[in-house]
A and B are shown apart, each in its own frame.
Chain A
């Protein structure tokens, strides 16, 4: 494909995406990329900037989540945003430190309804069949014959070794999620969503990020979902957390994990926490990597093939 046809395809998909949301009564919004604090996540590193005149520190947003949730608190109704976001150190075939994220929120909806809408968007843009769905627990049970919620670390370790996954030197062996992540990345993910998109939902609570946690008997489920197509992860959705105290707690937990792993502690977004006191309406929201969607639509392997300019060109 020449440059012109890649640019045309990209423009066409952006237009079609906007039409999809406009027809469904979502409003396109814009929120600031500069922030004084962040919604802290354990493994996402924002860029830090400094005002040249007064030395004040800012971060570049890693998603428009904080701004959009503040609009929802103020009564915006259903909204979507297409924005450039920034995440340090993420460079690979399907990673760029600056990329385009499509994020949207629908008040009143649960994760099941939102997953259906994500599937409809994928059907529209990729021309695929409606997505399949499997819970995180059933995926592990079906494919690896192990219960990811109850298996001992020894069992997880044995399984990783059985599949000849090479262990990183600094593997945090006491961290269940690190073992589960190795199994997902190396063993399960390459075959996820071969023929049609596949949703994974109901994650272990320890991987809930900012999703609500549902207790069922002995087990806690993070009401979060991801969708995979042809082995590529495309989105991350939440049944959104509402309680500002719970947000603060999760930010602090994430910062603790960051410090433990030698990452920098991040400043909390206090304005966000303050505004959340007025309560987010019950809602679900999802963020989808638009560059990856375009990559899949054009049947390419690397983001470099669908982004005319990347981090290597600046």
Chain B
């Protein structure tokens, strides 16, 4: 389906095809000198490589829509090379390589629901929930009585990712992590 967007459709969040690759519009600016012609400026991010582009268009220009689809799927397991997901209703399974996952693997434990962008039927990006709760599987023992949250130490969580946590944390504590920044937010439960 070769859908096209005209300049009046331009807005942040649109997914378009440029030079055969899918891009997300991250910024759309309308510029018009008083008595001159309108120019639309798009900042775009490649949905596969993450590269950014700066493009301009005049009224009448068209941009091809990217054939992308969002689905909410469930994380199943990984074999260290690929991460496997399943659609909860169709039970269809997908594999995504670690390279394509970026940092997302750090936040995936079994049954986590993630948003996946499919392009031409292939999964290209995986977005975890904004916050996940993960159990600490290894860290130096907690410093008793030290409740300062600004003093941090590294901890390994159940996905094998490393997170900086306050010094009073212990193995078995469950912590909340902001996946957008990778930062520790709070302790959810104690060991």
**Stretch of B26-34, B121-129, B133-141, B154-162 on the interface side:** B26-34
| Contacting residue for A184 out of B33, B41, B55, B57, CB 8 A | B33
Chain B residues, CB < 8 A from A182: 39
Q: Is the C-beta of B35 less than 8 angstroms from some C-beta in chain A?
A: yes
Look across to chain B and name the residue whose beta carbon is closest to the beta carbon of A203.
Answer: B35
Could you write out 20 A-B pairs with CB less than 8 Å apart? A43-B32, A43-B36, A43-B38, A90-B38, A92-B30, A93-B30, A95-B32, A166-B41, A166-B54, A167-B56, A168-B56, A170-B58, A184-B36, A185-B33, A185-B36, A185-B39, A207-B36, A236-B34, A236-B35, A261-B59
Docked Cα-Cα span, A181 to B37, in Å, equals 8
Chain A residues, CB < 8 A from B61: 168-170
CB within 8 Å: A-B pair count: 71
Q: Are A41 and B34 in contact (CB under 8 A)?
A: no
Q: How far is the CB of B154 from chain A (nearest CB, A)?
A: 40
Q: Is the C-beta of B8 less than 8 angstroms from some C-beta in chain A?
A: yes
Docked Cα-Cα span, A111 to B25, in Å, equals 42
Residue interface mask A83-94, B partner, CB < 8 A = 1: 000000111110
Look across to chain B and name the residue whose beta carbon is closest to the beta carbon of A164.
Answer: B54
Docked Cα-Cα span, A70 to B35, in Å, equals 22
Chain B residues, CB < 8 A from A91: 30
Q: Is the C-beta of B20 less than 8 angstroms from some C-beta in chain A?
A: no
Which A residues between 189 and 247 are near B, CB-CB below 8 angstroms?
189, 207, 209, 224, 226, 233, 236
Chain A residues, CB < 8 A from B60: 170, 261-262
Taking Cβ atoms with an 8 Å cutoff, the residues of B that contact A are 8, 29-39, 41, 54-61
Q: Are B36 and A226 in contact (CB under 8 A)?
A: no
Q: Are A165 and B38 in contact (CB under 8 A)?
A: no
| Contacting residue for B36 out of A90, A92, A177, A186, CB 8 A | A177
Chain B residues, CB < 8 A from A184: 33, 36
Docked Cα-Cα span, A41 to B55, in Å, equals 27
Of A91, A93, A181, A186, the most chain B CB neighbours within 10 A belong to: A181
Q: Is the C-beta of A158 less than 8 angstroms from some C-beta in chain B?
A: no
Of B33, B35, B38, B58, the most chain A CB neighbours within 10 A belong to: B35
| Contacting residue for B59 out of A89, A167, A185, A224, CB 8 A | A89
- Chain A residues within 8 Å of chain B by Cβ, number: 33
Q: How far is the CB of A51 from chain B (nearest CB, A)?
A: 26
Residue interface mask A138-168, B partner, CB < 8 A = 1: 0000000000000000000000000001111
Docked Cα-Cα span, A89 to B73, in Å, equals 39
Of A43, A95, A171, A207, the most chain B CB neighbours within 10 A belong to: A43
In the complex, given contacts A92-B31, A226-B34, what are 18 additional A-B residue pairs having Cβ atoms less than 8 angstroms apart?
A: A41-B35, A43-B32, A89-B59, A92-B29, A92-B30, A93-B30, A166-B41, A168-B61, A169-B57, A170-B57, A170-B58, A178-B37, A184-B36, A189-B33, A207-B36, A209-B35, A236-B34, A263-B59
Chain A residues, CB < 8 A from B54: 166
Look across to chain B and name the residue whose beta carbon is closest to the beta carbon of A287.
Answer: B34
Chain B residues, CB < 8 A from A42: 37
Q: How far is the CB of B3 from chain A (nearest CB, A)?
A: 17
| Contacting residue for B56 out of A92, A165, A207, A226, CB 8 A | A165
Q: How far is the CB of A85 from chain B (nearest CB, A)?
A: 14
Known contacts: A89-B8, A89-B38, A185-B39. The answer to whether A233 contacts B33 by CB under 8 A is yes
Q: Are A95 and B30 in contact (CB under 8 A)?
A: yes
Q: Are B35 and A168 in contact (CB under 8 A)?
A: no
Known contacts: A182-B39, A185-B39, A261-B60. The answer to whether A166 contacts B34 by CB under 8 A is no
| Contacting residue for A168 out of B29, B33, B34, B39, CB 8 A | B39
| Contacting residue for A90 out of B30, B55, B56, CB 8 A | B30
Docked Cα-Cα span, A166 to B18, in Å, equals 14
Docked Cα-Cα span, A89 to B30, in Å, equals 10
Docked Cα-Cα span, A171 to B41, in Å, equals 13
Q: How far is the CB of A101 from chain B (nearest CB, A)?
A: 12
Known contacts: A167-B56, A168-B39. The answer to whether A90 contacts B29 by CB under 8 A is no
Docked Cα-Cα span, A184 to B58, in Å, equals 16
Known contacts: A43-B38, A90-B38. The answer to whether A181 contacts B33 by CB under 8 A is yes
Docked Cα-Cα span, A41 to B33, in Å, equals 13
Docked Cα-Cα span, A93 to B31, in Å, equals 9
Q: Are A90 and B32 in contact (CB under 8 A)?
A: yes
Docked Cα-Cα span, A243 to B59, in Å, equals 32
Docked Cα-Cα span, A90 to B36, in Å, equals 12
Docked Cα-Cα span, A93 to B28, in Å, equals 10
Q: How far is the CB of B63 from chain A (nearest CB, A)?
A: 9
